[in-house]
Amino acid sequence: MGIASAFVRESMPDRREQRYGDADFDWECRVDTCSATVSWRTRLLGLFHSPYQPVEPRLFHEIMNELKIDFTGFTFVDVGSGKGRALLLASAYPFQHVLGIELLPELHHIAEQNIAHAGTGLCGKLESVCGDAAELIFPRDPLVVFLFHPLPRAGLAQLVDNLQRSLLAHPRPLYVIYANPLFETLLASFRRLRKIGGTHQYSLFTNDQGGASPTSSVS
Ligand SMILES: C[S@@+](CC[C@H](N)C(=O)[O-])C[C@H]1O[C@@H](n2cnc3c(N)ncnc32)[C@H](O)[C@@H]1O
């Protein structure tokens, strides 16, 4: 690639956001969710699991617009919630509960500080817990589960298995948002779950009979 085209490419908004850790959101909300300030130790640990990268606000809101649900009846679960970017974005919607689970203590503690600073927004309850998402006991509410490349394949398989058991034991509506869906095939065997939408950036699934996403294309 020539210098001129490399310069143009690096000047594109998405590349700028990557380099500067998408600082606009943090600046506007006075929080710390960018990946640029993560300590070297946590960055190193991230390489063994899944490196921290916050979701782009534009993409998050685009996905929320595709959910044709009454938010007040659902709990939002962010699997691998990092510094809490997706939790803060979800709190702008009237979910009954917004819950994040994050493996690395440094990221979880920053998420707690961000939540304390930002408040609960429109949702009923907003929290981050520190732990292994592969062992998460899912709340028994109707669920929106957000996966942004959170776990390596084996961990994600275990999480999908746990989620399926939870749904079998306590049937309820489920929506799964899978951003950067590298291991999407793991969801194929999930009973009654069907793909209802998505783009090249994410896939959207549900077991909800009435659940449909009329504006999305299903591949
Ligand atoms: C790509 S980041 C997503 C961050 C956040 N969901 C967002 O969208 O802003 C993935 C996160 O998953 C976390 N993670 C990796 N393995 C995990 C596990 N077993 N349990 C919980 N979190 C995990 C990483 O530490 C990292 O913070």
CATH of the domain at 142: 3.40.50.150
Closest atom of ligand 1 to CA, residue 33: 9
Instruction: Detail the DSSP E strand segments found in 48-119.
Output: 75-79, 97-102
Question: Ligand 1 atom closest to Cα of 82?
Answer: 27
Domain coverage including residue 196 = 6-206
Measured in angstroms, how far is the CA atom of residue 103 from the centroid of ligand 1? 7
Q: What are the start-end ranges of the E strands in 89-142?
A: 97-102, 126-130
SS3 of residue 109 by DSSP: helix
Model confidence at 216, pLDDT cuts 50, 70, 90, reads very low
Q: How many helices (H) and strands (E) does the chain have?
A: 8, 7
Helix (H) or strand (E) holding 143: strand 143-148
pLDDT band at 21 (very low <50, low <70, confident <90, very high): low
Range in 52-56, 71-75, 209-213 with the lowest mean pLDDT: 209-213
Mean pLDDT over residues 62-86, rounded? 97
pLDDT tier, 48 (very low <50, low <70, confident <90, very high otherwise): confident
**In Å, how far from its chain's centre is CA 179?**
7
Q: Is 170 a domain residue?
A: yes
Look at the chain and report how many structural domains it folds into: 1
Mean pLDDT over 47-76 rounds to 94
Quick: pLDDT tens for 184-209.
999 988 888 999 999 999 999 999 98
Position 137 in a domain: yes
Cβ atoms of 151 and 80 within 8 Å: the answer is yes
- Specify burial of residue 24 (Cβ count, 10 A radius: 0-12, 13-18, 19+): middle
